[in-house]
């Protein structure tokens, strides 16, 4: 028994060190410390503090911590440069590890909120995402780097409606657009497609607008702050997308699906991308699904829960749309389309 306890303790300690390591990485990402060291190639603590506009005392302690976890190398006393592992957290590096750092801190925040709210049953909603000012600006980029490659490599190839919209120069609307990553990737892939994005957070809309302008897409893409339940546009829409957003408004699904149905033109489609909540609880023990179980707890804090694809398909049928279900990410995610048949 003693050896089993020792082995368990060592395993938990390794996991705890991993969480601490990601917390340190988040500080480097959120405050531009990794990016500054990449730009400067190397810097002392005062130089790094001056370049980033951060307090030198905090920068000094962060450098110690980042050095301890091998994100930094000391090339001479008090002068640091990025290690290969530190460089891997640069937001623009290929295959960046930035999303893991953001998710680590967001998860800790949501776990603390769940621990307190569990005592009262309160479910405060989406506002919890904005309670930490350093996290919200990175929420959109986190989703983009997590799911953007999946969109490019699997979703767009499997789901035909995107090519059909492009062929007729159609309009795509993204409800809950975040930083606009979905529409920007669609616009880069499909040169005839136009897009409108709507999100409830002004921070996300500002990011989306800036990035569309920087990528030369602002002539085809626009973004605005808005409430999905009050969405209205005069022009009939070819495609309405909701990416990992439907479960946030599932308790209002009758109104949401009415809005989707009323705004589609004949031949148009709604495209819903959601985590694929498993039918069997035992599937949550799979290493690639464990995080989904925790995320579903944090969704409860926001008043939501993850869905099964058949629930979405049934709701499409209820409003007269023809559903099709596509599985991506080895079945962990589902894309469900609902087409208004001519």
* 109-154 pLDDT, tens digit each: 999 999 999 999 999 887 888 888 899 899 899 999 999 999 999 9
Distance of CA 77 to the CA centre of its chain: 39
Distance of CA 305 to the CA centre of its chain: 16
| Contact assessment for residue 19 and residue 8, using Cβ atoms and an 8 Å cutoff | no
Beta pairing class for 171-175 and 237-243: parallel
Structure tokens at 248: 């946030």
**pLDDT tens column, 259-308:** 999 999 999 999 999 999 999 999 999 998 999 999 999 999 988 999 99
Nearest by Cα to 44 from 74, 86, 89, 83: 74
CB-count exposure of residue 4 (10 Å: 0-12, 13-18, 19+): exposed
> Which residue has tokens 């049953």?
121
Tell me, yes or no, whether 57 and 145 share the same domain: no
Does a structural domain hold residue 298? no
Structure tokens at 38: 């990449």
Tell me, yes or no, whether 49 and 169 share the same domain: no
Tell me, yes or no, whether 237 and 187 share the same domain: yes
Tell me, yes or no, whether 198 and 316 share the same domain: yes
Does a structural domain hold residue 76? yes
| Contact assessment for residue 291 and residue 100, using Cβ atoms and an 8 Å cutoff | no
Instruction: Identify the domain boundary among 95, 122, 152.
Output: 95
> Which residue has tokens 């909120």?
113
**What is the spatial distance between Cα 45 and Cα 58, in angstroms, rounded to a whole number?**
10
Structure tokens at 279: 């039918």
The CATH number of whichever domain residue 320 belongs to comes to 3.40.50.150
Kindly give the confidence (pLDDT) of every residue in the chain, 342 residues in length, as a single tens digit, with 9 standing for 90 and above: 577 888 888 888 888 888 999 999 999 999 999 999 999 999 999 999 999 999 999 999 999 999 999 999 999 999 999 999 999 999 988 889 999 999 999 999 999 999 999 999 999 887 888 888 899 899 899 999 999 999 999 999 999 999 999 999 999 999 999 999 999 999 999 999 999 999 988 999 999 999 999 999 999 999 999 988 888 888 899 999 999 999 989 999 999 999 999 999 999 999 999 999 999 999 999 998 999 999 999 999 988 999 999 999 999 999 999 999 999 999 999 999 999 997
Does a structural domain hold residue 203? yes
Instruction: Identify the domain boundary among 74, 95, 116.
Output: 95
Instruction: Identify the domain boundary among 76, 95, 114.
Output: 95
Tell me, yes or no, whether 175 and 311 share the same domain: yes
**What is the spatial distance between Cα 278 and Cα 276, in angstroms, rounded to a whole number?**
6
Does a structural domain hold residue 113? no
Measured between alpha carbons, how far is residue 36 from residues 8, 29, 50, 261, 306 in Å? 39, 10, 10, 48, 39
Does a structural domain hold residue 123? no
**What is the spatial distance between Cα 53 and Cα 31, in angstroms, rounded to a whole number?**
9
Beta pairing class for 264-275 and 237-243: parallel
Tell me, yes or no, whether 251 and 328 share the same domain: yes
Does a structural domain hold residue 108? no
| Contact assessment for residue 56 and residue 49, using Cβ atoms and an 8 Å cutoff | yes
Tell me, yes or no, whether 193 and 328 share the same domain: yes
Q: Where are the alpha helices (DSSP H) in the chain?
A: 2-30, 33-40, 45-52, 56-68, 84-87, 98-117, 136-150, 156-158, 161-167, 181-189, 202-214, 253-263, 290-301, 309-318
Domain count, the chain: 2
Inter-helix orientation angle 33-40/45-52, to 10°: 110
Domain span at residue 17 reads 2-95
The full length of the chain comes to 342
3-state secondary structure (DSSP) of residue 119: coil
Does a structural domain hold residue 286? no
Tell me, yes or no, whether 152 and 34 share the same domain: no
Biggest alpha carbon–alpha carbon distance for the chain: 72
Tell me, yes or no, whether 152 and 91 share the same domain: no
The CATH number of whichever domain residue 70 belongs to comes to 1.10.10.10
Tell me, yes or no, whether 149 and 224 share the same domain: yes
Does a structural domain hold residue 173? yes
CB-count exposure of residue 7 (10 Å: 0-12, 13-18, 19+): exposed
Tell me, yes or no, whether 68 and 205 share the same domain: no
3-state secondary structure (DSSP) of residue 47: helix
Tell me, yes or no, whether 77 and 208 share the same domain: no
């Amino acid at each position: 028994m003693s050896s089993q306890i020792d082995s368990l303790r060592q395993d938990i300690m390794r996991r705890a060190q991993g969480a601490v390591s990601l917390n340190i990485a988040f500080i480097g990402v959120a405050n531009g410390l990794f990016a500054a060291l990449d730009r400067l190639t190397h810097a002392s603590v005062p130089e790094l503090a001056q370049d980033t506009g951060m307090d030198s005392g905090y920068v000094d302690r962060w450098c110690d911590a980042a050095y301890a976890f091998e994100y930094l190398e000391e090339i001479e006393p008090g002068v640091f440069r990025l290690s290969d592992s530190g460089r891997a957290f640069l937001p623009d590096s290929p295959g960046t590890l930035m999303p893991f750092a953001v998710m680590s801190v967001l998860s800790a925040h949501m776990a603390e909120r769940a621990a307190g709210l569990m005592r009262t049953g309160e479910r405060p909603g989406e506002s919890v995402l904005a309670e930490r000012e350093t996290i919200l600006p990175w929420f959109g980029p986190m989703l983009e780097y997590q799911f953007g490659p999946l969109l490019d490599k699997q979703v767009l190839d499997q789901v035909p409606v995107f090519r059909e919209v492009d062929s007729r120069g159609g309009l795509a609307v993204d409800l809950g657009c975040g930083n606009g990553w979905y529409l920007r990737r669609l616009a880069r892939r499909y040169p005839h497609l136009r897009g409108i994005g709507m999100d409830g957070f002004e921070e996300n809309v500002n990011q989306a607008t800036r990035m569309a302008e920087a990528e030369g897409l602002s002539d085809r893409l626009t973004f605005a702050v808005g409430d999905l339940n009050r969405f209205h546009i005069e022009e009939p829409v070819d495609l309405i997308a909701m990416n990992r957003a439907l479960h946030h408004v599932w308790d209002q699904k009758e109104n949401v699906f009415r809005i989707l149905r009323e705004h589609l033109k004949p031949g148009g489609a709604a495209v819903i991308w959601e985590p694929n909540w498993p039918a069997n609880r035992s599937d949550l023990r799979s290493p690639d699904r464990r995080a989904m179980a925790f995320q579903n707890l944090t969704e409860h804090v926001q008043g939501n829960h993850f869905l099964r694809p058949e629930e979405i398909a049934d709701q499409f049928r209820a409003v007269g749309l023809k559903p099709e279900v596509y599985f991506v990410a080895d079945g962990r995610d589902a894309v469900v389309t609902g087409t208004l048949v001519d």
